[in-house]
Structure formats: C-alpha cells, structure tokens
Chains A and B, each alone.
Chain A
Amino acid sequence: MNNILEVKNLQVSYHTYAGEVKAVRGVDFSVSEGETLAIVGESGCGKTVSAKAVMGLIQTPGVIKEGSEINYGGKNLVAQPESEWEKYRGGECAMIFQDALAALNPTLSVGKQIAENLIIHRNCNKREAMEKAVELLEKVGIPEADKRVKQYPHEFSGGMRQRVMIAIALACNPKIIIADEPTTALDVTIQAQILELLKELQKELKTSIILITHDLGVVADMADQIAVMYSGKIIEKGSGRDIFYHPRHPYTWSLLNAVPRLDGDRKKNLVSIEGTPPDLLLELKGCPFVERCAHCMNICTRQAPPTFTFENEHRATCWLHHEKVQGEYPFETGGALCVEKA
C-alpha cells in the first residue's frame, strides 16, 4: 500500500510562562489510502497537538521544531509557505473537531459554512455550492436537508451539529479526515450513530481517517492501525488486532484492563494505573512511563527504551522486550525481530 501521508520525527513545543513544554517529542506515523489510523492516549499526551501539526494549525506560542517532516504528495509541508498549506487544509485534509458548537460559526447558516469551503477550494459559484451543501447534509443523514441548510448551528442538536461538521469536512472530497475526539462530547446513543456514519462514509468515499481518541472502545471496530501515545511519544503501534489481543507495552496492557467491560466480572477491582503522567516541561531521562509502570527495571530509569519491531510491523518502545529480560509478565515479551535505537 502506498502511504499518502507520512509524518517523521514530528516535534512540537510550546513556549510558556514556565518554560518550554515539549508536547510532541518525535512522532512517526503514516496513513495509506482508505485506512483508519487511530491515535489513542490520555489528555496531555500530545495526540491533539500532533493532529493540529498535521493540519498546520500550530500557532504561537507553539512551534514545529526543525527536523520534523510532514510528507504529503511528495512534499515536506513543514518547509512550505502558508499559501501551500491553505491549499492543503480543507481541500486535501479536513478536520472534525471535538466541540462542534465551538467550531461552527454561530452567525452563519450551516449551508453557508459548508459552501464557503467549496467556494474557496473548488471554485464553485454560490448557487452550485449551496446545492452541493444540501447534498452533503443529506449524505450525513440530516433529514429535510433543503430546509435545514438555512438554519443556524444553535438550532441543531449536539449529534446533528457533529453531522454538520462532518459535512463541512467532506465538502471538498479530502483524501484525509482527521477526527479529533469526534464523539467525546456526545451521549453514548448519539456516539454510536456518528461512528456508524463515519464508517459508512469511509467505505463509500475511500477516505483515510486519522481518529484521535482517548477511548479504546471506540476504535475497536474501526481502526486498521492503532498508535498509542504517552507523554509526547508513540509507545506502541500496530494493527488493531495486535494492539487489542497482543499488547506489548505495559501501558497499553493496563489501559485495556482499566476499561470496565460489560462482559467482565463486576466485583473485580479495576486495574488502575497509579500516579499521573510526567510533566512535559521536564527533560525525560529514562522511559516516560517509568513512574507508573508495574514492571519497572533499573535500566528503565537510566535510559530511554529503543523501539522493538515484531511481526506485522508491530512496534513497542519498552525495555521488557530486550533479550536479557527474564520473568513472568501478563503480556508477551521478547521475540523482537529487530531493534531501532531510541
């Protein structure tokens, strides 16, 4: 498969009152056509910042550091001028935000907001754009689209607003859609609707989706690839099945076991990950997870772990896979095919 977007060694920092916050510390991922990549992690792990970087939406005090690469269509976008970004943003790559109410302009009708995109990127005239807007609203499942196209965001319910957001994102047939926690602000029954819709649209339009979420449950049925992020780094990456059934990083394993399952034992205490993630202001010496890891070793405090690669491009950044490690663990260790230095 050919990758349409490749991100290499992405580093983003924010300069704040307290110092430099290294929000993203060297992240690599790629998306191929029609594929769904899920980036999973807790708040503050850098998943949203990575997405914003890919969209070119990092603003001061944030900076994309030198050496970062965002390759799309044979070009490294980081080095391109703003005009190049403008073509790419919305046209080639569109974003769905978590809070649709905040992301929509309250003073414009939803039709105009969808049409705006088309007028900028596809040189449509106003009438064509409005007709297309009605079509799009129908496509995302909004009933009476020809009437609702003239309404304003506050006249829509939460789920409907998220549908409008999706319609705006789809307007120019982008190759990539970045969905930043698209269902977090919604109720479970509405969340199910939106996820269904995204899946259907993907099947129909063959778009690639980068789905950013904190909820492993949401991605179970959707993601082809999953990248688990922790304090600005991807600590494990692999196919959906590999991540769910053969987690190789203690963080991924605990995360999977911290989610209560409807089919699990009710009386059993949940696996909780004690402590809190490290502060991103700090220079990390060893593994970022070391303070919360139940299987911590001496070397973890001294040296950042290398990335071990297993079958099927499954990668994990954890010392437990080193050949010298012995002992019993609740997840698989060892058996790496190759090692990349950290």
Chain B
Amino acid sequence: MNPEHNEIVRDEVLKEDAFMPIETKHKEDDVLRDRGIWYNLLTSFKENKLAMFCLCFLIIIIIASILAPLSPHDPDKMDLLNKLAPMSKEHFLGTDGLGRDYFTRALYGGRVSLVVGLFSMMVAIVFGTLYGTISGYIGGTVDNLMMRAADIFMSVPSFLLIIIINSLLSPSMTTMIVIIGMFSWMGVARIVRAETMSLKERDFVLVAKNLGAGSFRIIFNHIIPNMIPSIIVAASISIARAILTESSLSFLGFGVQLPMSSWGSMLQSAQEHIMDVPSLALYPGLLILLTVLSFNVLGDVLRNALEPKLVK
C-alpha cells in the first residue's frame, strides 16, 4: 500500500472520537431505482442511433401526412401538359404520368397507408388479445376449439380471400381495415395464448386468486399487463404487415379507388413508366420500406424499454 494511504489511516485512527461507539443506521440508500419507462426509452434512443432515425422518420411522415392539405397542389388535379415533369421548385418530386404533383400525392397516400396500417393493427391486436387470453385462461376443450378455429383462419390463403371479399364489397378504407384486421389476428392470438398459459400458473396469479380476485380482475390486472412487451412486438409486426398488405392490394388494384392515392397504387401507376422515369417507383417504394422498417425497429426498442431495469 502506498504511504499516502497509510497516513490517511493513521490520521483517522488518531482522531479523538474514532473509536466511540455510534448507533447503527440502517439507511436505505436509493442507489438503484427503476426510473420508469420514459427514462428507459430516452436512454435507448440515445444509445441506439438507428432507433432515433426511425423515430424521427415516422414523426416526420405522420406530421407531413396530417398536414397534407397545406400543400399548394390538389392531389387529383391533372395537368397533362406537364406530365412526367422532373424535380423542380414547384413540383418537389416532379409529376406523375397524368401530371399530378407527386409529392402531394405521396403525402395523401401516406395518410391512407398509415391509417389502414394503424387501425387494422388495432383490430388485430384487440381481437387477438381477447381471443388468446380467453382461450389460454379457460383452457381445456374451449381452448382446443378456439385454437383449431384460429388454425383454420391461418390455413386459408388470406390474400386471395381478401381480394375476393374486397371486390364483392364496395371497396373503401373501412372495409380494407376490417378485412386486413380480420386475417391478421391469429398470430397475435397464438402468442397471447401461450403467454397466458404460462402467466396463469405463476405465483402472483395464485396470490390474486387467494385474495379473492375474480377471473376478470386477474386477466385485466395481472395477465394482460405482463404481456404488454410481447403484444407490442406483435403490434409492430402487425402494423408493418398491414401496410404491406394494403400496398399490395392497391398495387393489384383492389385497394383504394381512383383517384384516391396510396403508396401501393402509386407504385402501380409507376409501372408504365418504370423504364423512362424509375424515380416514380422509387419514392413510394422507399416510403413503404422505411415506414415498415421503422415500425419494426421501434417495436423492439419499446419492448426493451418496458422491461424492468435498474439504474443508479
């Protein structure tokens, strides 16, 4: 040990009160705390540059879509004299084959894609969670029947069915949301059911039963809150998939009807000009890619932030 240290020790020993007994303090120092989800989220974003980028991108896209009407152009106004114009001051991303402002159309298209993605995800999550929890919690024959029903839904070639139903019904955003939601809850239900099965055997659920809690209380106060991380991951996948499905439908012409635009339908009309103006396909394609990627990345970050963590 260094001499400096020894000197400090000697000084301490020589202090008059050094060996006076004192009362023990059982102090509870708050070194480790869970600062809660917001703190965790903030640190994850600080550390994870990709997540930060995805978040910024989504915020910009969402705000831009909401503010779409502020654009000086009418998305549906054709100007055949000015078709396929390149980027310019007036037309930020140029114009499409019918001379419509491409930037404005992309903004309006974003509205459709995001709304369809968000709401069909909600339909799938709410229904899937309820279905899965009930099936897993009750168990036995009910569980068996419910899961086989879900299996049947899963085995149906859903995309074809969506196309058929969509062409029978009057195509609108609402029908699209309902239909996409209808065919994407099974994955959620499966995850939720498996989690419920394991959670319902956990000690804290037994404790709640012991305290006299009913099934309703146990499901909503103990089981569902503990599944939230998994549900968030399922939701982020589901929203991404819904946006893709919507785009594919619109691309095939079964989605939103003209003259309304969506990213998928923009891709479709870009087909004709793919050889001479490839940028027309590039923009909506890039938007779909980045939005879907962002939702997936954010889902992961959010799930991580929700895990209990201790920090100094």
Q: Once the chains are docked, how many angstroms separate the CA of A122 from the CA of B196?
A: 50
Could you tell me if B312 and A281 are in contact, using CB atoms closer than 8 angstroms?
yes
Q: Once the chains are docked, how many angstroms separate the CA of A291 from the CA of B32?
A: 17
Tell me which of B6, B17, B24 has the highest count of chain A C-beta atoms within 10 A of its own C-beta. Answer: B24
- Kindly state whether residue B1 has any CB partner on chain A within 8 Å: yes
Contact A299-B13, Cβ < 8 Å, known A17-B311, A324-B19: yes
Contact A322-B26, Cβ < 8 Å, known A18-B32, A279-B32: no
Residues of B contacting A298 with CB < 8 Å?
Answer: 15, 17-20, 22
Q: Once the chains are docked, how many angstroms separate the CA of A327 from the CA of B19?
A: 10
Further pairs besides A18-B32, A324-B13: 11, Cβ < 8 Å: A17-B309, A274-B24, A279-B29, A292-B26, A297-B18, A299-B18, A301-B22, A302-B18, A303-B9, A322-B13, A342-B1
Q: Once the chains are docked, how many angstroms separate the CA of A149 from the CA of B116?
A: 62
Residues of A contacting B72 with CB < 8 Å?
Answer: none
Interface bits A288-320 vs B (CB < 8 Å: 1, else 0)? 001111111111011100100000000000010
- Kindly state whether residue B151 has any CB partner on chain A within 8 Å: no
Give chain B nearest CB distance to A133 CB in angstroms: 37
B1-36 interface with A by 8 A CB criterion: 1, 5-6, 8-9, 12-13, 15, 17-27, 29, 31-32
Interface bits B290-312 vs A (CB < 8 Å: 1, else 0)? 00000000000000000001111
Could you tell me if A327 and B21 are in contact, using CB atoms closer than 8 angstroms?
yes
Could you tell me if B18 and A324 are in contact, using CB atoms closer than 8 angstroms?
yes
Give chain A nearest CB distance to B179 CB in angstroms: 43
Contact A296-B19, Cβ < 8 Å, known A279-B32, A291-B27, A341-B9: no
Q: Once the chains are docked, how many angstroms separate the CA of A19 from the CA of B32?
A: 10
Could you tell me if A296 and B24 are in contact, using CB atoms closer than 8 angstroms?
yes
Contact A297-B21, Cβ < 8 Å, known A17-B309, A17-B310: yes
The number of chain A residues with a CB under 8 A from chain B is 30
Interface size class of B (residues with CB under 8 A): 20 to 34
Residues of A contacting B18 with CB < 8 Å?
Answer: 297-299, 302, 324
Give chain B nearest CB distance to A8 CB in angstroms: 14
- Kindly state whether residue A262 has any CB partner on chain B within 8 Å: no
Contact A299-B24, Cβ < 8 Å, known A17-B311, A281-B312: no
Interface bits A1-36 vs B (CB < 8 Å: 1, else 0)? 000000000000000011100000000000000000
Could you tell me if B15 and A291 are in contact, using CB atoms closer than 8 angstroms?
no
- Kindly state whether residue A275 has any CB partner on chain B within 8 Å: yes
Interface bits A263-281 vs B (CB < 8 Å: 1, else 0)? 0000000000011000101
- Kindly state whether residue A325 has any CB partner on chain B within 8 Å: yes
Q: Once the chains are docked, how many angstroms separate the CA of A167 from the CA of B207?
A: 41
Q: Once the chains are docked, how many angstroms separate the CA of A340 from the CA of B24?
A: 26
Residues of A contacting B31 with CB < 8 Å?
Answer: 279, 281-282
Q: Once the chains are docked, how many angstroms separate the CA of A291 from the CA of B310?
A: 22
A341 partner, pick from B5, B15, B25, B29, beta carbons under 8 A = B5
Residues of A contacting B9 with CB < 8 Å?
Answer: 303, 306, 341-342
Q: Once the chains are docked, how many angstroms separate the CA of A279 from the CA of B5?
A: 24
Give chain B nearest CB distance to A95 CB in angstroms: 29
Task: Jot down 9 A-B pairs with beta carbons below 8 A, ordered by A.
Answer: A18-B311, A281-B312, A297-B19, A299-B18, A303-B9, A303-B13, A322-B19, A324-B19, A341-B5
Residues of B contacting A281 with CB < 8 Å?
Answer: 31-32, 312
Give chain B nearest CB distance to A22 CB in angstroms: 13
Could you tell me if B15 and A299 are in contact, using CB atoms closer than 8 angstroms?
yes
Residues of A contacting B309 with CB < 8 Å?
Answer: 17-18
Write the chain B residue with the least CB distance to A296: B24
Residues of A contacting B12 with CB < 8 Å?
Answer: 299, 302-303
Interface bits A158-196 vs B (CB < 8 Å: 1, else 0)? 000000000000000000000000000000000000000
B29-45 interface with A by 8 A CB criterion: 29, 31-32
Could you tell me if A292 and B19 are in contact, using CB atoms closer than 8 angstroms?
no
Q: Once the chains are docked, how many angstroms separate the CA of A267 from the CA of B26?
A: 26
Could you tell me if B19 and A275 are in contact, using CB atoms closer than 8 angstroms?
no
Q: Once the chains are docked, how many angstroms separate the CA of A341 from the CA of B1?
A: 7
Residues of A contacting B25 with CB < 8 Å?
Answer: 291
Residues of B contacting A319 with CB < 8 Å?
Answer: 19
Give chain B nearest CB distance to A319 CB in angstroms: 7
B52-107 interface with A by 8 A CB criterion: none
Residues of A contacting B311 with CB < 8 Å?
Answer: 17-19
Q: Once the chains are docked, how many angstroms separate the CA of A327 from the CA of B20?
A: 10
Write the chain A residue with the least CB distance to B26: A275
Contact A295-B26, Cβ < 8 Å, known A17-B311, A341-B6: no
Could you tell me if A296 and B26 are in contact, using CB atoms closer than 8 angstroms?
no
Contact A293-B24, Cβ < 8 Å, known A18-B32, A299-B18, A322-B19: yes
Give chain B nearest CB distance to A107 CB in angstroms: 23
Give chain B nearest CB distance to A263 CB in angstroms: 30
Q: Once the chains are docked, how many angstroms separate the CA of A299 from the CA of B12?
A: 7
Write the chain A residue with the least CB distance to B8: A303
Residues of A contacting B19 with CB < 8 Å?
Answer: 297-299, 319, 322, 324-326
Write the chain A residue with the least CB distance to B16: A298
Could you tell me if A297 and B24 are in contact, using CB atoms closer than 8 angstroms?
no
Q: Once the chains are docked, how many angstroms separate the CA of A242 from the CA of B18?
A: 28
Q: Once the chains are docked, how many angstroms separate the CA of A325 from the CA of B309?
A: 44
